[in-house]
Structure 1
Amino acid sequence: MLHLKRAGLVVTGWGLCLCAGMAAADVVPVVSARNPVATMSKNQIADIFLGKTGRFPEGGQAVPIDQAEGTAARAEFYLNFTGKSPSQLKAHWAKIIFTGRGQPPLEVANGAELKRRVADNTHALGYIERSMVDDSVKVVLVP
């Protein structure tokens, strides 16, 4: 009987792992389809979102736009591109703001609003779920 309970726990654990993996969306960095930037590295994207630079690789102004704090897309983006958790990101921006070296990116409510703003502004850089990409925006991550 104990072996059956143990086997049930193992199967339940695998199921939870699979569900957690499926819940993670494929979040990609995007710019307006009219933006001349074709590709960017993870480091270039991270530097813009962490306030280390305000320019695209070719020199144009870059305006980062974040999804709302607490969204899954935001957490996944920062973890994948900067290696920072939500608490580490808060600490990063607290230091930058305190020292007067910058302000965090503009924040919008969700991916749909972010996509609309990026599509309308050739200087904007944001991130959305890959499934939301259409001809108004383009993915800029180097494969």
Structure 2
Amino acid sequence: MKFIVLALSLLVSNVALAQVVIVGSPSAPEINAAQAKRLFLGKIKTLPGAGSITVVERQTGDALKADFHAKVTGKSEAQLKSYWSKQVFTGKAKAPVEVDSAAMVKAQIANNPGAVGYIDSADVDASVKVLFTPN
């Protein structure tokens, strides 16, 4: 029984240590916290030196998505859903592309150099560049 409790506590501590990072193509410019928030709320659609941006999100219900938005946009998933419904309905913004894994985020970036998304820092490889690390 002690072994099971120890194993579960190690698993939980590893999950808690996960660090979400915003990534883009290797040629994309680094961004700051204000740019990150505005990008992921559809308020800016281009970055200097990168041109038009496509935002790639994780699927609703993904723990990384909830963690990311708590740190970057300050919105819960329910608030995001409401926000994007309004933005799309009024024509102010196009909803982000949603994918269900870090591999799919990286594939979107590989296929579209103007794409930005977020993944766990452990999933970063040479195919992407870390553009910003939220606190």
TM-score (norm 2): 0.82
- Residue 19 (structure 1) shift: 6.8
Residue 117 (structure 2) aligns with: 126
Residues 1:62 and 2:53 are matched in the alignment: yes
| Contact in 2 for aligned 1:44/1:57 (Cα 8 Å) | no
Distance 1:21 1:50 in 2: 30
Distance 2:97 2:69 in 1: 15
SS in 1 for 2:51: coil
Q: Which of the numbers 23, 28, 38 marks the counterpart of 2:15?
A: 23
Distance 2:50 2:127 in 1: 22
| Contact in 1 for aligned 2:50/2:114 (Cα 8 Å) | no
| Contact in 2 for aligned 1:29/1:141 (Cα 8 Å) | yes
Gaps of at least 5 residues in structure 1 are: 1-11
Instruction: Using the aligned pairs only, state the percent identity.
Output: 38
| Contact in 1 for aligned 2:53/2:115 (Cα 8 Å) | yes
Residue 72 (structure 1) aligns with: 63
Residues 1:136 and 2:134 are matched in the alignment: no
Matches within 5 A, 1:33-48: 33=26, 35-37=27-29, 39-48=30-39
| Contact in 2 for aligned 1:40/1:142 (Cα 8 Å) | no
| Contact in 1 for aligned 2:109/2:128 (Cα 8 Å) | yes
Give the aligned residue type for 1:106.
V
Distance 1:58 1:44 in 2: 14
Residue 89 (structure 2) aligns with: 98
Give the aligned residue type for 2:22.
P
Distance 1:49 1:114 in 2: 14
What are the Cα deviations for residues 95-121 of structure 1, in whole angstroms up to 9, with x where unaligned? 112222122101112111111211332
Note the aligned Cα RMSD (angstroms): 2.3
Residues 1:53 and 2:44 are matched in the alignment: yes
| Contact in 2 for aligned 1:63/1:125 (Cα 8 Å) | yes
Q: Which of the numbers 67, 72, 86 marks the counterpart of 2:77?
A: 86
Gaps of at least 5 residues in structure 2 are: none
Matches within 5 A, 1:105-120: 105-120=96-111
Distance 1:58 1:32 in 2: 12
